[in-house]
Amino acid sequence: MDSYHRGEIAVQDRAGLTRQAGSAGRALKDSIPEVAAAFLAGQPMLVLGGTDRAGRVWATQLTGEPGFLTTPDPRTLRVGALPLPEDPLAGVLLGTGVGEAPAPARVGAIAIEPATRRRMRINGRSVQDGAGLRIDLDQVVSNCPKYLQTRDYRLLPADDPRTDLTAGNRRSVTDSTSLSPAQQQALRSADTFFIATASDQGDADASHRGGNPGFVEVLSPTRLRWPDYLGNSMFLTLGNLEINPAAGILLPGWETGSTLHLTGAARTVWDAAEIARVPGAQRLVEFEIAAVREIMATSRLRWSQPGYSRFNPPVAGRPSDRP
């Protein structure tokens, strides 16, 4: 397995955390341990990140009954679900349907278990395999549970009218180049989102960002900012952004089954005065939106109200959300 790439090393050096990153690097693996295979088998959701054919980075989710993620061997993850045709990554994740073997798509993935605050990142190359995907693994990372809110889930029945499209219902898809007022409010209220990035060589990564509601600032209909809190010092996300600013964001509709997808460019803010204004921030990240896609009724998965992590720093101007 490759070591850190030059972008990750540059950010580690600038943050003064090279030694810590070296120790954390022992968590980088190229295969799935047995205990992690059991963890994946119990999950109903996998978040994927990748690059579309236009070079834009997106994040999306695949969901299913627990057991839809399987590991036939330590270097392979099978996903028993396919993206919807409306999904922004469908064009690179689905086969051509003309008898030709599709080119593998480089993807980053993250599985989270909100009930226990466990998560796991998996990066590799994905191809369609029948009614699902096969991901051949390059990198496996077990993450710490900081800033992950607890949630329980349930799956709506397959014939529930909220997700059943067989009776002539149409899935609602909205495309734009800026956030609507309702989408802005959803981001201001968010306690969790997922971010996809890629290196300058195209290797993808997907990660989680969490905090108390309000930790995501909506600076304008096309510009977001959020704090980069104390983490594991690997800087896999910021390292990618150091050499390739393309990024994608997924905001799940925890209670509705919708998905809000954003793509654009992100940069790390190192200005000490700016950082000092945001409680708990080690750095800031600003994201310029190029395109927005919101899809309703994407999943049968529904989640409970969150229990906020005790690690979440307070948000300026808002009361604490800790229980």
pLDDT digits (tens, 9 = 90+) for 202-250: 999 999 999 999 999 999 999 999 999 999 899 999 999 999 999 999 9
All structural domains of the chain with their residue ranges? 6-303
Amino acid 157: pLDDT: 86
Question: CA–CA distance from 33 to each of 29, 76, 125, 309 (Å)?
Answer: 9, 11, 19, 27
DSSP-assigned letter for residue 87: S
Query: What CA–CA distance (Å, rounded) separates 245 from 255?
Result: 31
Query: What CA–CA distance (Å, rounded) separates 29 from 3?
Result: 10
Q: Which of 202, 10, 37, 25 is nearest to 111 (CA)?
A: 37
Q: For residues 149-177, give the mean pLDDT.
A: 78
What amino acid is encoded at 26 in this protein? R
- Do 193 and 306 contact (CB within 8 A), yes or no? no
The pair phi, psi for residue 213, each rounded to 5°, is -50, 135
Sorted by sequence, the CB contacts under 8 Å of residue 58 that are 6+ apart come out as 49, 50, 51, 52, 88, 89, 196, 248, 250, 261, 263
The pair phi, psi for residue 286, each rounded to 5°, is -110, 140
Amino acid 1: pLDDT: 43
Instruction: Provide the β-strand partners of residue 255.
Output: none
Residue 166 confidence class, pLDDT cut points 50, 70, 90: very low
Amino acid 163: pLDDT: 62
At 300, list the tokens.
């049968």
The pair phi, psi for residue 130, each rounded to 5°, is 65, -125
At 109, list the tokens.
């993935």
Q: What crossing angle do the helices spanning 236-243 and 6-15 adopt, rounded to 10°?
A: 110
Strands (E), the chain: 28-29, 45-51, 57-63, 69-73, 76-79, 105-113, 118-129, 132-142, 153-155, 173-176, 192-198, 204-210, 217-220, 223-228, 246-252, 259-269, 283-295, 301-303
Residue in this structure with the two tokens 């998560």, named with its chain if needed? 119
The pair phi, psi for residue 184, each rounded to 5°, is -60, -45
At 110, list the tokens.
């993250």
Q: Which of 57-61, 96-100, 108-112, 184-188 has the lowest mean pLDDT?
A: 96-100
pLDDT of 47 above 70: yes
Amino acid 170: pLDDT: 61
Residue 103 confidence class, pLDDT cut points 50, 70, 90: confident
Amino acid 52: pLDDT: 96
- In this predicted model, what pLDDT tens digit does every residue of 256-300 receive, in sequence order? 999 999 999 999 999 999 999 999 999 999 999 999 999 998 999
Residue 158 confidence class, pLDDT cut points 50, 70, 90: confident
Q: Which CATH number fits domain 6-303: 2.70.98.70, 2.30.110.10, 3.40.190.80, 3.30.230.70?
A: 2.30.110.10
Query: What CA–CA distance (Å, rounded) separates 78 from 70?
Result: 5
More reliable by pLDDT, 210 or 164: 210
- In this predicted model, what pLDDT tens digit does every residue of 8-43 receive, in sequence order? 999 999 999 999 999 988 888 999 999 999 999 999
pLDDT of 168 above 50: no
